[in-house]
Structure 1
Amino acid sequence: MSIEVMTLLFFGSLLFFLVLGLPLAFVLGGVSVVFLYFTWGFDSFYLVASQIWSTMGSFTLVAIPLFVFMAMILERTGVARDLYRMMHLWFGGVRGGLAIGTLVICAIFAAMVGISGAAVVAMGTIALPAMLERGYDKKMVLGVINTGGGWGVLIPPSILMILYALITGVSVGKMFAAGILPGIMLMVLTSAYVLIRCYLQPHLAPDLPKEERGTWSEKFAALRSVVLPIMVVFMVLGSIIGGITTPTEAAAMGVLGALISAAVYRALNIELIKDASVRTFKLTGMIMWILFAAHAFSAAYQSMGAQPMIEGMIQSIPGGPWAVIIFMMLIVFLLGMVLDPVGIMLITLPVFTPIVASMGFDPIWFGILFVINMEIGYMTPPFGFNLFYLKGVVPPGITMGDIYRSVIPFVLIQIVGIGCLMVFPEIATYLPDLLF
């Protein structure tokens, strides 16, 4: 049977079982095991075990449960509530100011937690009702929270960046440094869109009445709410950039910062630790099972002779190296609509990165393009995680259709950001070259 027919059967089976609603880890692993058996026989399973064993020996993986635990602690403290109060006072007088303030909070949260869902849930609970109550357009509000929440995988520390570094062999520290300026760029682009659109269509986001804007003394007093977030960011990123810790050890510093924040807010107790630990075990377990299954998937597909076929197909694309990069981004964008980001990384990166390196592109720069595409995957229908996180906290009157429609202009902004990185790669490469 030809590799082309095997590819159709392989991915067809995968999509069929995913549409039935089966868990991704079981689908990836189950389909892979069946195809491995019929391709190479029982001995092929040793290949999967060998790959999994080598991965589990990686010290970098320790950072994943630590960053998840940090996120779970911070989500339950009063950090997000106080940040929103500060943004309410400082930005409320600007048309669309609460939406822009929400984007800034999402960026700050992203720099603390490293995962996508925390900011979506926090802002969906705190900012969404406040903005709807003040007459903000619901699609504007939903789109802002959905977009800003996704920055958790781009602005360091990021679990997806750790996995990218683990798969491709690049430096985690360089990936973290490379994500800072692109994250700021996307925040500026999105804020500019909100500001311009609200200026042209004032009914979408009215400015607040003067009595809600606060006095200057209240505004300056509210600035105290950023002290703890800055401390956490400094403990994580500052310790890496300063050469004090490795990225994995910096995750432990982040946990310490989160515990200090919880203590300051008087939220630190046994119940909080227990709840955060259980949720961390669940999420980390899910990531690990997907990791195992994706290794089986990668081993099965490569054993069929897929890599030479894909390399030949990609290198035959007309238009040169840039056309190949755009084609890769398109594939990742489409996969992001239906698959888990971890699975996408483990399926595509072993094939893509050797081709990217052979064409002379910087793997750190390509990694940032890839991670932004993963961020878009979190917010695009039909299976974007942020869509379902948001649906879980919105008022009853907001439908899934409203959430789906709200993301369209914001997805286009993220694509514009990818275009800017392609035209000006220094946005991603400047800080890694400077610091490392």
Structure 2
Amino acid sequence: MSIETLTLLFFGSLLVFLLLGLPLAFVLGGVSIVFLYFTWGIESFYMVASQMWGSMNSFTLVAIPLFVLMAMILEKTGVAQDLYRMMHLWWGGVRGGLAIGTVAICTIFAAMVGISGAAVVTMGTIALPAMLARGYDKRLAIGCISAGGGLGILIPPSVLMILYSLITGVSVGKLFAAGVIPGIMLAVLLGLYIYLRCRIQPELGPALPPEERGDWIEKLRALRAVILPMLIVAMVLGSILFGLATPTEAAAVGVLGSLASAALHRQLAWPMVSESLLRTLRLTGMIIWILFAAHAFSAAYQGMGAQSFIEGLMAHIPGGKWGTIIFIQIVLFLLGMVLDPVGIMLITLPVFLPVVTALGFDPIWFGIMFIINMEIGYQTPPFGFNLFYLKGIVPQGITMGDIYRSVIPYTLVMIFGLILVMIFPALATWLPSKVM
């Protein structure tokens, strides 16, 4: 059977079973095992087991549950409430200031937790009611939380970057360094969009009345809320970027910092720790099973002769190597609308990355564009994760249609940021070259 026919059957089977609602890990692993058996025979299973064993021996893999645990603890400590109070005082007098402050808090949270959902749920609970009560347009308010929360997978530490490193073999420390400038740039672009939009349409984000803005003493006192998050960020990122610790060791330091934060906010109690550990176990278990299934997928498709087939296919895309990169970005964007980002990563990276490196592109630069695409995927209808997180916490009267429409302008801003990284690769490659 030709590789073209096998590819159609392989990906067609994956799509059919995913649309039927079966879990990604079982679909990815099950279909791959069936194709492996009929392509190479039962001996090929040893290759999958060998790859799984290699992953289980990866020290970097330990960072995933540690960063997830760190996020779960910080979500319950009260750090976000203090940060929001500070942003309320400092930015409330600016049109759209509460929305800009929300993006800023999401950026700080992103530098602490490494996942998207924590910031979305936390700020959706704290910031959204406050903005709606003060006359903010519901779409502006909802969209800024979804877009700001997505920064959690781009600004290091990032669980998706760790997975990218495991799959591709590139340095996770370099990926972390590469995500800093694009992450800050996207946060600035989002804040700039909100500011300009509210200057043109003041009714979308009215400035707070003078009595709610606080005096200078209150503002300066509120700055204490930033000290603890910045210490945690410095502990985690600083130790990685300056070579004092591996990402896994830095994740352990981050967990210690989150526990200290919980103690300072008088939230450190066994029920909170127990719930955080249980949620970490569930999320990490899901990630690991998907990772195992991805090894089976990679072995099956590579065994069919995927490498030469994909390279030959990409050679027919107009525009040369840049046309290929743009085509890959479009494919990733479309997949982000219907599939889980972890699944997209594990399905596409074994196919796309060899082509990208063969064309002479930097895998670190491509990795940052990949992560930005996954960030966009978290908020694009119909199946963006952030949209469903928000649906579970928005007040009555806000429909799923409102949530879908709220993310459109923010998605366009992120696509603009992606284009900037594509045009100016130094945005992603300069910092790793200097600090790593």
Interval containing the TM-score (normalised by the shorter chain):
over 0.9
Matched residue of 2:75: which SS? helix
State how far apart, in whole Å, the 2-side matches of 1:146 and 1:7 are.
35
1:266 Cα offset (Å): 0.6
Corresponding residue for residue 217 of structure 2: 217
Corresponding residue for residue 203 of structure 2: 203
State how far apart, in whole Å, the 2-side matches of 1:354 and 1:300 are.
16
Residues 345-397 of structure 1 deviation map (CA, whole Å, 9 limit, x = unaligned):
22222222222222222111111111111111111112211111111111121
Matched residue of 2:378: which SS? helix
Residues 61-93 of structure 1 deviation map (CA, whole Å, 9 limit, x = unaligned):
000000000000000010001101100110000
Corresponding residue for residue 92 of structure 2: 92
CA contact (8 A) 2:242 2:435 kept: no
**TM-score of the aligned structures, taking structure 2 as reference length:** 0.98
Letter in 2 for 1:74: L
**TM-score of the aligned structures, taking structure 1 as reference length:** 0.98
CA contact (8 A) 2:147 2:379 kept: yes
Residues 138-191 of structure 1 deviation map (CA, whole Å, 9 limit, x = unaligned):
111111000000000000000111111122221111111111110110011111
Identity %: 72
Matched residue of 2:289: which SS? helix
Q: Which moved more, 1:53-62 or 1:312-321?
A: 312-321
State how far apart, in whole Å, the 1-side matches of 2:384 and 2:209 are.
36
State how far apart, in whole Å, the 2-side matches of 1:53 and 1:340 are.
25
Residues 308-327 of structure 1 deviation map (CA, whole Å, 9 limit, x = unaligned):
11111112212111111111
CA contact (8 A) 2:368 2:428 kept: yes
Letter in 1 for 2:304: M
CA contact (8 A) 2:77 2:262 kept: yes
Residues 114-156 of structure 1 deviation map (CA, whole Å, 9 limit, x = unaligned):
0010000000000011101111111111110000000000000
Letter in 1 for 2:277: S
CA contact (8 A) 1:179 1:428 kept: yes
Corresponding residue for residue 429 of structure 1: 429
Corresponding residue for residue 288 of structure 2: 288
CA contact (8 A) 2:310 2:355 kept: no
Q: Which moved more, 1:280-289 or 1:402-411?
A: 402-411
1:38 Cα offset (Å): 2.4
Following superposition of structure 1 onto structure 2, how do residues 343-362 of structure 1 map, counting pairs within 5 Å?
Answer: 343-362=343-362
CA contact (8 A) 2:154 2:372 kept: yes
Corresponding residue for residue 27 of structure 1: 27
State how far apart, in whole Å, the 2-side matches of 1:164 and 1:19 are.
25
Letter in 1 for 2:247: P
CA contact (8 A) 1:167 1:346 kept: yes
State how far apart, in whole Å, the 1-side matches of 2:85 and 2:238 are.
27
CA contact (8 A) 1:120 1:149 kept: yes
State how far apart, in whole Å, the 1-side matches of 2:2 and 2:396 are.
51
Corresponding residue for residue 161 of structure 1: 161
Q: Which moved more, 1:369-378 or 1:97-106?
A: 369-378
Corresponding residue for residue 275 of structure 2: 275
Corresponding residue for residue 191 of structure 2: 191
CA contact (8 A) 1:97 1:207 kept: yes
State how far apart, in whole Å, the 2-side matches of 1:294 and 1:173 are.
23
State how far apart, in whole Å, the 2-side matches of 1:51 and 1:400 are.
41
CA contact (8 A) 2:307 2:354 kept: no
1:218 Cα offset (Å): 0.7
Letter in 2 for 1:262: A
Corresponding residue for residue 261 of structure 1: 261
1:26 Cα offset (Å): 1.4
Matched residue of 1:317: which SS? coil
State how far apart, in whole Å, the 2-side matches of 1:196 and 1:419 are.
21
1:110 Cα offset (Å): 0.1
CA contact (8 A) 2:170 2:364 kept: yes
State how far apart, in whole Å, the 2-side matches of 1:122 and 1:97 are.
18
CA contact (8 A) 1:66 1:255 kept: yes
Corresponding residue for residue 233 of structure 2: 233
State how far apart, in whole Å, the 1-side matches of 2:149 and 2:177 are.
20
Residues 284-310 of structure 1 deviation map (CA, whole Å, 9 limit, x = unaligned):
001001111111122222222222111
1:256 Cα offset (Å): 0.7
Residues 78-115 of structure 1 deviation map (CA, whole Å, 9 limit, x = unaligned):
00011011001100000000000000000000000000
CA contact (8 A) 1:239 1:245 kept: yes
Corresponding residue for residue 419 of structure 2: 419
Matched residue of 1:327: which SS? helix
State how far apart, in whole Å, the 2-side matches of 1:344 and 1:51 are.
19
State how far apart, in whole Å, the 2-side matches of 1:24 and 1:390 are.
23
CA contact (8 A) 2:29 2:296 kept: yes
CA contact (8 A) 1:160 1:371 kept: yes
State how far apart, in whole Å, the 2-side matches of 1:397 and 1:301 are.
47
CA contact (8 A) 1:311 1:351 kept: no
State how far apart, in whole Å, the 2-side matches of 1:244 and 1:189 are.
32
2:220 counterpart of 1:245 = no
How well do the aligned residues superpose, as a CA RMSD in angstroms? 1.1
CA contact (8 A) 1:132 1:138 kept: yes
State how far apart, in whole Å, the 1-side matches of 2:51 and 2:243 are.
31
CA contact (8 A) 1:110 1:149 kept: yes
1:427 Cα offset (Å): 1.0
2:71 counterpart of 1:77 = no
Letter in 2 for 1:125: T
State how far apart, in whole Å, the 1-side matches of 2:362 and 2:7 are.
29
State how far apart, in whole Å, the 2-side matches of 1:161 and 1:430 are.
18
State how far apart, in whole Å, the 2-side matches of 1:385 and 1:39 are.
35
Unpaired segments ≥5 residues, structure 2 = none
